[in-house]
Chain A
Amino acid sequence: MVDLTLSLAPGTYGAENREGPGVTVSQRHGLHILHLAGDLSDTDFPTAARHALGLPLPQLAGETRDGHGVRVLWLAPNRWLVVSGHKLETDAFGEKASVNDVGQGRSVLRLSGRSVRDLLCKGCPIDLDPQSFSAGHAAATLLGHLNVVIDCIADDVFDLYVTRSFDHFIHDWLVRAGKEFGVRISAA
């Protein structure tokens, strides 16, 4: 059977560089994440959502919005990911919205470091150059075999949303892909 022992073990893997590991991976715990679906053209819904979030919903592909401790990612037409440090009521979005709590169904990994874009480019086919994909951009796309959401937090900081059951696999992938840069998996 496939050996999964490597993954998730904290430590530094791969290349040794004077500047330290090129990428650091840490798991973001305790996030509350809602998957929100609703029809923007139905006025009740965006109004209710705005009330609940204190923010208007982003409407452009790849757009994110931030405020009041909440980050909202555009996923698809009429679909968003609402990420926050505090619990949000699922019924605050009005009757017209379809809301699912997906906070534990996804792993959120914080990737940072000077080589983080190079690492992502090893498996992600979208244009990740800073001039095309900068802080505030998010995209549902691929990383290796997996469907992921990539959210650019700052120039060399990214959050990666991965379906939970792939947790072992993505860690293993990140370690392998990151070895050439030196990769640190920080303690959970």
Chain B
Amino acid sequence: MNGIRLQVTDLRRDFNRRPVFQGISFALDAPGSLAVTGLNGAGKSTLIKVLAGAIGPTTGTVAYQRAGVPIEIDALRHELGFVSPYLNLYDEFSAEENLRLLSRIRSGNEPASVTIERRMKQVNLWNRRHDDVGTFSSGMKQRLKYAFALLHEPTVLMLDEPTSNLDAEGIAVVEAIVAEQKERGILIVATNDESEAAWCTARVHLSGSGGNKR
């Protein structure tokens, strides 16, 4: 079954020997959702990157398991979707090429064309699919990241500042995606916005020393 579980134990991450956060422990079962909140500089982005395995923790562990069996980091890549303003796709490729090439790197083969079409229509980029991403506006790039993150139907979806750059219609698309993901697997949202945090049932609040207050 889908029952993926994320178990975080006593997590800590330092930058320049100062902890950004420490002593973070929680467990999250699918279906389920978690909001990461805190002031600017509290460490939300750092935490979500550690959870995604993009950067390592200083101490502590992040473990994913399904029915008690741990999921290897290499297998996790097939289960994970990630969207954030600082995640960039390739400017020199068209939107569709980006999806195709990156899927091949992830899994060795391309997704079905219907899947690509469905996702690109979902984020309203189908008509611009042959244009280079470098010529996209900020909101169009953000939309494409959603298409990319959802292409392989991830069981774990992580969103950092999910609605930034998006217009009202884009936000509605994201809300639909969020609603679906919450039912289907794990959703983690790092946000500054209380209404976005309210999408989620659980919450980790990073109070720490609150970045800019230090």
Q: Do A and B bind each other?
A: no
A interface, CB within 8 angstroms of B: none
B: residues with CB less than 8 A from A are: none
